[in-house]
Structures are given as structure tokens and as C-alpha cells.
Amino acid sequence: MKKNELYTKRASAWEAAKKFLDEHTQENGTLSAEDAATYEKLEADITNLTAQIERQQRLDDMENTMKQPASTPITEKPMNGGEVKTGRASDAYKQNFRDYLRSGFANDITPLMQEGSSTDGGYLVPEEYERQIVDDIAEQNVIRSIAHVIRTAGDRNINVPLSHTEAQWLGEGASYTLSTPQFDRVVLKAYKLGVMVPITEELLQDAILNADTYISADITRAFAMAEESAFCTGDGATGPTGIFTANGGAVGVTTAKSNEISADDLISLVYALRLAYRRNAKFLMNDATVAAVRKLKDGNGVYMWQPALAAGQPDKLLGYDLITTAYAPDIAAGALAAAFGDFGYYWIGDRAGLSVQRLNERYADQGIIGFKAFERCDAKVVLPEAIQLLKMKP
């Protein structure tokens, strides 16, 4: 089934579910056991269609990637023109990098040295590989897609105003009052995230798999999962500080119940955020929380959740984009279950690039070659008032 057909089918299923709720909800706002079971089946159909749309999107993305040409036509490279790539962007460096992954030997590749030491480290990923891995992480890691990402060379100090300059009305001849704005400082450090990828000697020697493609894909998956988890709930001790933490966004609303989010709670969360931030605001929560709020209506009896009707468009909640992440907390007593705000105030600082090192001896007795990769980054909410959190009643 085509993706547009899936969107249409999901929209129809949602309309049927809404109609069923409207017709079978009792005066006390509940459903009978039989009607609840029927509605849960209708809702499961919507969830399954959503998952099918997401799978189809991944397949389409993969198909588009596979259709990309393996090389640029020679007609686009005149004999005496075009940019000459050097360093990690050069074809020679990329070929040597492939040779290094497969055999452990490479010519003319400068090793990445440890800071303050001349001992061997790993090898910097060629520029095209580095960009591809970062792009793949961005596609899989929804927080990267909505946050503000910067490149850092050292600890990045970010000045945040605690108080602002205030203008005053002055009478004729009156003196000006000196305004003294105060500033705080947020520091982005460089925490280390690493992964080890094992590949058997047979796979490498027999050329059964494209080593650089496999390693890139495996690193992408591992880094994306670890990053997004930290960006949501990281404690800031050995990695990034998450959005859904005491040092992340600001608690804007505490629910009336410890296990339930009401329509009023979500409406209050929207208006807990200042108007200036609401212009670019989005909701962020996990799929289980979305399922819990899907039946809610606003004060006009309109369902607050609306499904996307076309590819590339997010679902909506109270008219705002709804982004889901598997790493947002579940609904539970005291949990920070949802966020609403301008996530451009969540800053991610990437230090340098990814590096890969081949380990020949560590797993030699097992017939395995290890590939060690790492990156260094940090992330923090730089202005908590720009991201309001929904806290469940303790």
C-alpha cells in the first residue's frame, strides 16, 4: 500500500474512533467494558497504521539512498576545472581508510593523537564518511533534528541573562537610573561516547561485506540510541543533561492525578510557556503518552490530537507539532512525562569528529577484529523557561 493511502486510511480510522467515542461515552465520561474493548481495537488499528507509515518512510529513505549514483559522471569534472579535495576529503584518504578497516594497513593516513601525547590513537573518519554518519544520526535522533547543534573546540561558555535591562519613565530633568542586568553561564563540555564493533576475520578477508558501510551503519544505530536517551534523561554526570530532568526544562504544570493527564493539564502547559517561545513550540513525549492523550478534547469538544494527513507532516496536539521519542519518561507518579517548548534552546555541542581505531590483538584468539569508535559531545537546556515540563502528581 502506498504511503499516501496509509495516511488516508489512518485518518479514516481516527474519524471512526472519534465517532465511536462520541456515540458510546456514558454520562460519567467512561465506556462500558464491551465498548472499551471495541475502542481499544480501533485505537490499535491507528497505532498499527502509524507504525506501518513509519516503516514505509524508512524503506523510502533507504530506496532513495540506494538510487544515489556511486560516482559523479565524468562530464561534471572538466579536465582543468573543479575543486581539488585534500586531506580527509580526498579520494586517496578514503581509499586508505577502507584499506585500514579491512586489513589494518594504510598509507599516508595521519593518526589521531591523544591530547598531550604522541602515542598512536585512532584514525579520523574521512570527511564524507563523517558527514554520512552525522546525517544518519540526525535522521534517527529526533532530538538532534529539533535542537540547536554547534561545533565546539573546547568548553563552550554560553551566557544566559538572569535579569534584563529595564526602561523607566523619566520626568523632565530627572536622572537616569543605572540598570544592572545579571548573567549566568552554561558550559558545554566534551563527554566521551564510545562503541566497539566486532567483525570476524572471515568476513573481512573474504570481502563478504562492505566493511566501511557495515561499520558506519552499526555505529550510527548505537550512537543514535545512546545520544537520544541522554538527550532526554541524562543526568549530566558523565554525559549530556536531559530535557526531562530537574536540570532540564522548567516544570510548568503538575497534574491533578498521578496516573492520568487531563485536557486541562495540556492546555495549562501550553499557556505556561511565554508567547514568545510558543511561536516555535512543539510537544515532545513518548508513544505511550500519546496513546493516553489521544482521546482528550478541548473546551470546544474538539479532539486535541490530530493525525498528519500527508508524508513529511507531524501529528498535531492542540495545533502544535507533536514529536515522539522512545526515551521520554512514561506516565507515572512524579515523572516528567511531557515537554512543550522551543527546543532550539536545547544546545548540543559536538567536539571534533568521529574517530575509528582497528584492534587486531584484543580478540585475536576468537578470530575477531574489533573496531573502536568514539565521539565527544555535551548537551544542555540553556534557557529552562523556554521548555516547560508536565510533571505527574507525586
Amino acid at 351: R
Lowest mean pLDDT: which of 1-10, 154-163, 277-286? 154-163
Mean pLDDT of 287-313: 88
80 occurs within a structural domain: no
Interacting residues of 166 by C-beta distance below 8 A, sequence separation 6+? 179
226 occurs within a structural domain: yes
Residue 162's pLDDT is 64
Amino acid at 35: D
Residue 95's pLDDT is 74
Domain end residue (candidates: 14, 40, 65): 65
Mean pLDDT of 85-89: 72
pTM of the model: 0.76
70 occurs within a structural domain: no
Q: Are residues 259 and 329 in the same domain?
A: yes
Residue 107's pLDDT is 60
328 closest CA partner among 248, 228, 184: 228
pLDDT at 301 exceeding the cut of 90 = no
The CATH number of whichever domain residue 130 belongs to comes to 3.90.1690
Q: What is the pLDDT of residues 354-377, one digit of tens each?
A: 788 888 888 888 888 888 899 999
Q: Are residues 195 and 58 in the same domain?
A: no
| Residue 353: pLDDT band with limits 50, 70, 90 | confident
Percentage above 90 pLDDT, the chain = 38
Interacting residues of 155 by C-beta distance below 8 A, sequence separation 6+? 187, 188, 189, 190
Of 86-95, 147-156, 261-270, the range with the highest mean pLDDT is: 261-270
- Residue numbers of the domain that contains 229: 106-162+182-394
221 occurs within a structural domain: yes
